[in-house]
Structure 1
Amino acid sequence: MITSSLIHVRDVLHAQLCYQAFITPIFFPLEKEYRHFAKLACEFIEARRTEVIHEEFPRHHVLHRFAPQKNARGKKVLITHGWISRAAYMARIIQALHQQGYEVYALDFPAHGEAKGLQLPWTDAVAILKNTINQHGPFYAVIGHSFGGSMLLNTLNVAGQLPEWQLKHKPERAILIASPTQMRSPVNRIAKKFKLSGHGYLQLRHVLKQQAHFDINLVRLHHFISQSPNISFLCIHGELDKTISTKESIEFCEKYPDSRLCLLPDANHVSVLMDERVEHLVCDFLA
């Protein structure tokens, strides 16, 4: 009996530790091959942005606005970065769209880039995206890399189910770049990394449900597809991506009717952000 109780306590504490790791970005030095790109990307953002917008709710985050060059009434595009990343690393896509005449908003999530904080619960990311779209939209298109794409999909999904999470205007187009399209994927990945037991995994799911602002089952992909949203999707994924499996994009496009899949040879999870093919695909899809 005592042994069983100790195992239960161990699993609960293990799950709590796993959850804290799940919401806490830990930044490591960039690999040498990407450092020059990162430096130029940060310099580009600082030099070319028109406005820096600081928002405090539900956590501090930053919007980098790029006013349209050619047309004062250019369509708006919202861009979101990945986990342990920043808006600046989306620089090539930002620049390409800005040159095409779009008004671009690039988001620094809490605890990333120029935003303050140490942690980012995923439901806070969804709340931030909902508020951003409602306050600064309407957005013609939304684009997200990795975590950013996943959170955009969750935002659109929940918006179609809960009145208090509704969007004033849904985007016409959405682009997911190397993004997990099922929330269980990143949860399973960190559970495996922390070697949670079966009971520990159930405890982790319990913690996620406790911390969420809504029923986490609502973000399941079939709920989104059943809404038949009038949004065209483009999924871009590098064939060499070892961080997020290409199956995420493949299965989404198999299930979602109005979607297009582009698998890029010789591209990985990071290199897609500096791949000229991605810029062309994005611009062509939005044209």
Structure 2
Amino acid sequence: MKRFFQRLLPLAIGKYFNLLVLFAPEKVAHKAYLLFCTPRRGKVLPIQSDFLADAAYERITVEDMEIQTYRWEGKGRKVLLLHGWESNTFRWRNLIGFLKEAGYEILAFDGPAHGHSTGKIMNVIRYTACTRAVVEAYQPDYIIGHSMGGLTAVYHQYLHPENSLKKIVTIGSPSDLEDLMLQYKRILRFNDAVFRALDRYLKRKFGFGIREFSTAIYAKDLNIEGLLIHDELDTIAPFRASEKVHKNWKGSRLIKTKGYGHSMHQDFVSEQVMDFLNT
């Protein structure tokens, strides 16, 4: 019964949006934006706390957010880890083991509205602002991002090429905001009028429309080594996203897997990351 209502709720919201857009397109766009940016999951679970307790904690203030950072000491270079949507720093538990063994200093933080960080919404703009603050505070040498974290890493580098980063790794990361919004549209089944209202809303709020935000475009300006790992059967972020970014990113390498899914926790993935960092 619970699953039945969970399936019906998105459709009910979509029908509400389709009706509301007839009378208040700006209002429906704002509501659609907030829903799109509000995570349902991602807080630290009790079973995850013991692993994170080994790190040194520090909270930093970014705009109206209190961001929880984690640091595992090491004598090697510094690696910053960016998790994806509805996740937290615990998702890196497997890779952290590899990084510890190799002696790297490991940095991470919970994104806005995720883990132990505050906030109610997360989007690439807020995530990038937090990434910028952490990079300035800790001066990492490398960034590794999964899914939205990888997208944020590329966007951050595009905005701030002057930083001291040497390499970026993206794992199962999307590229085009349009792909994400079309998926959102299919789930809720809202109509084109709602989509257009949301496009205008984002243009006013952030200066780019749905079809204008693309890390594949931003990658043309990157002057840094990159590694992209993506599964060709990924149902969350399409493999073509990494293909497009790789095509435009000089100095990047693309590794394709099959059957690893979206999370990409396998040792093979960690081994490829380590090889890239160590060379």
In structure 2, the partner of 1:172 is 166
In structure 1, the partner of 2:70 is 64
- Cα separation, partners in 2 of 1:218 and 1:65, compared to 1, 3 Å: farther
Deviation per CA, 1:170-203, whole angstroms, max 9, x where unpaired?
A: 4111110100122322223213323232232121
In structure 2, the partner of 1:158 is 159
3-state SS of the aligned residue for 2:158? Answer: helix
In structure 2, the partner of 1:100 is 102
Alpha-carbon RMSD: 2.6
Name the aligned partner's letter for residue 187 of structure 1. Answer: M
- Cα separation, partners in 2 of 1:262 and 1:222, compared to 1, 3 Å: closer
User: Which stretches in structure 2 are left out of the alignment for 5+ residues?
Assistant: 1-18
- Cα separation, partners in 2 of 1:181 and 1:60, compared to 1, 3 Å: same
Whole-Å separation in 2 of the counterparts to 1:125 and 1:7: 29
Name the aligned partner's letter for residue 276 of structure 2. Answer: F
Name the aligned partner's letter for residue 286 of structure 1. Answer: L
**Aligned-pair CA distance for 1:45:** 2.1
In structure 1, the partner of 2:60 is 55
In structure 2, the partner of 1:22 is 36
Whole-Å separation in 1 of the counterparts to 2:27 and 2:200: 12
Q: State yes or no: 1:111 paired with 2:113.
A: yes
Whole-Å separation in 2 of the counterparts to 1:113 and 1:129: 15
3-state SS of the aligned residue for 1:152? Answer: helix
Any conservation in 2 of the 1:87–1:113 contact (CA below 8 Å)?
A: yes
**Aligned-pair CA distance for 1:14:** 3.5
Whole-Å separation in 2 of the counterparts to 1:258 and 1:89: 28
3-state SS of the aligned residue for 2:69? Answer: strand
Any conservation in 1 of the 2:145–2:153 contact (CA below 8 Å)?
A: yes
User: Which stretches in structure 1 are left out of the alignment for 5+ residues?
Assistant: 30-34, 161-166
**Aligned-pair CA distance for 1:265:** 2.0
In structure 2, the partner of 1:210 is 204
Q: State yes or no: 1:221 paired with 2:215.
A: yes
3-state SS of the aligned residue for 1:8? Answer: coil
3-state SS of the aligned residue for 1:209? Answer: helix
**Aligned-pair CA distance for 1:42:** 4.1
Whole-Å separation in 2 of the counterparts to 1:67 and 1:20: 37
Deviation per CA, 1:210-265, whole angstroms, max 9, x where unpaired?
A: 333x55687533652442x3211111112332111111112221222211111222
Deviation per CA, 1:7-66, whole angstroms, max 9, x where unpaired?
A: 53254443322211111001289xxxxx9xx94x543222x31x1111121212111011
Matched length: 258
In structure 2, the partner of 1:278 is 269
> What percentage of residue pairs aligned between the two structures are identical?
23
Whole-Å separation in 2 of the counterparts to 1:53 and 1:82: 20
**Aligned-pair CA distance for 1:92:** 1.0
In structure 1, the partner of 2:146 is 145
Whole-Å separation in 1 of the counterparts to 2:23 and 2:197: 10
Name the aligned partner's letter for residue 257 of structure 1. Answer: K
